[in-house]
């Protein structure tokens, strides 16, 4: 899921300057799961907005805010409240915020920062495992991604900063290459160590990404 967190209230207050009436939008998918844009956070946001002298004209939690037609449809269902508002305050990831901004002429203010595509480690605890690079090497690296979990994204083994199996950038984190090495050894195969990995094809990480399902 997309991990997001609320911007600092001081930053939000600046973004809200001059906007008196607000319509709130949350997301029932990722932002609800990581407690940044679900019903509960919409309610808390509403209370905070009232405390700083703002009026909330209404709110909606969209099933998946990244779904552009669904976001548009939900906004139309709340036409009155949306129309009354000076701006829409969106508690969703950057993708969700843009579904909204492409579905209304009104000013859209994002309340969250989107952090990464995350795995749930345990409740409320997320880790990035994949950085959507478009050129997957997992089959050779025993299912551990060095592009993401090595702080430098190195492809041919650890850097000189590896110490006691830990990453030089963050001592709390295991060196990705030690993890890959140990798992490949346990599986009794050489995997990625059998070859020198050539420079990565970054053209696979197209920006902006576009994909159409065919057939």
Partner 1 sequence: MTRLQQQLAAGEFVVTAEIAPPKGTNVVEALEKARALSCLAAINVTDNQGANMRLSALALSALLIREGLEPVLQITCRDRNRMALQSDLLGAAALGVKNLLVLSGDHARFGDHPEARSVFDLDSVQLLGVVSTLVQGQDMAGKDLHQAPEFFPGAAVAPEAEPFELMFQKTAKKAAAGACFFQTQAVFDAEKFSLFMDSAQDLEVPVLCGILLLKNAGMARFLNRNIPGVKVSDILIERLDSASRPLDEGVMIAREMVATARSCCQGVHLMTLGHEELIPEILGQSAIAQEEGEC
Q: Which residues bind partner 1 (CB under 8 A)?
A: 151-165, 168-169, 177-178, 181, 193, 196-200, 202
Query: How would DSSP label each residue in 93-146?
Result: -HHHHHHHHTT-SSEEEE-EEEEEEEEEEETTEEEE-----SS--TTTTTT--H
CB of 3 to partner 1, least distance (A): 20
With b meaning 16 or more CB within 10 Å and e meaning fewer, what string describes 60-72? Answer: bbbebbbbbeebb
Q: Specify the residue, 55 or 163, whose C-beta has the smaller distance to partner 1.
A: 163
Q: Specify the residue, 28 or 162, whose C-beta has the smaller distance to partner 1.
A: 162
CB of 143 to partner 1, least distance (A): 17
CB of 141 to partner 1, least distance (A): 13
CB of 167 to partner 1, least distance (A): 9
- 190 C-beta neighbours (distance < 10 Å), count: 11
CB of 156 to partner 1, least distance (A): 4
Q: Specify the residue, 119 or 185, whose C-beta has the smaller distance to partner 1.
A: 185
Q: Specify the residue, 72 or 153, whose C-beta has the smaller distance to partner 1.
A: 153
- Segments in the chain forming alpha helices (H): 9-15, 30-33, 39-51, 68-77, 79-84, 94-101, 146-149, 176-186
Q: Specify the residue, 80 or 161, whose C-beta has the smaller distance to partner 1.
A: 161
């Amino acid at each position: 899921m997309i991990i997001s967190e609320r911007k600092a209230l001081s930053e939000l207050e600046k973004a809200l300057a001059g906007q008196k009436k607000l319509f709130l939008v949350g997301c029932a998918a990722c932002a609800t799961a990581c407690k940044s844009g679900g019903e509960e956070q919409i309610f808390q946001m509403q209370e905070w907005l009232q405390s700083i002298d703002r009026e909330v004209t209404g709110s909606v939690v969209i099933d998946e805010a990244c779904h552009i037609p669904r976001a548009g449809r939900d906004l139309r269902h709340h036409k009155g409240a949306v129309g009354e508002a000076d701006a829409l305050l969106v508690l969703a990831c950057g993708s969700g915020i843009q579904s909204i901004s492409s579905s209304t002429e009104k000013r859209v203010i994002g309340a969250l920062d989107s952090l990464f595509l995350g795995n749930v480690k345990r409740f409320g605890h997320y880790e990035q495992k994949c950085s959507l690079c478009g050129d997957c090497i997992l089959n050779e690296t025993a299912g551990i991604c060095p592009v993401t979990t090595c702080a430098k994204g190195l492809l041919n083994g650890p850097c000189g900063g590896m110490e006691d199996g830990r990453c030089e950038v963050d001592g709390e984190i295991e060196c990705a290459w030690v993890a890959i090495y140990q798992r490949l050894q346990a599986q009794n195969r050489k995997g990625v160590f059998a070859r020198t990995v050539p420079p990565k094809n970054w053209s696979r990480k197209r920006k902006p990404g576009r994909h159409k399902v065919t057939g």
